[in-house]
Amino acid sequence: MALDKLFEIDKDFYTRKWKPLEKDSGKVIFKYPIVSEEFPLYDYDWYLIVALEKADKVSTDRHLLTRELLLNYRNAIREGYNHQLDSALDGRFSYPRNKNTIQGIKSYIERIFKKQDEIRKEMLGES
């Protein structure tokens, strides 16, 4: 096995590559709906790693694990953690609590952004 393959994860819906000795060297290539360009994976972006690991638990309809869905999931995890909208997220080694299905991921995204919108409206005095 080539040494560079040690730092590569190749799943049916994404490929992740990184060079552990180079700062911010990670890259993700999403495979659905088509193989996309490389998406940068910075050292601090554990949200995307958690989203990919959690999405890998989905057992059916994996072709629906698209770039758009996974990046929205990553954003929801980031917002859920940074703004304490998801109490299950207490650091980079915790997973969001949602069903391991496409609908579970979509519901989680919707739930986090709905909470965020409610807080925003409350702060602005909107109803």
pLDDT in tens, 4-30: 667 999 999 999 999 888 888 899 999
pLDDT in tens, 67-101: 999 999 999 999 999 999 998 888 888 899 999 99
* Domain residue limits, the chain: 7-122
The first and second tokens of residue 125, run together, are 């005095």
CB 46 within 8 A of CB 87: no
* CA distances in angstroms from 65 to 9, 17, 48, 97, 120, listed in the order given: 16, 18, 13, 18, 29
CA–CA separation, 79 and 83 (whole Å): 6
Residue from 61, 59, 98, 57 nearest 76 by CA: 98
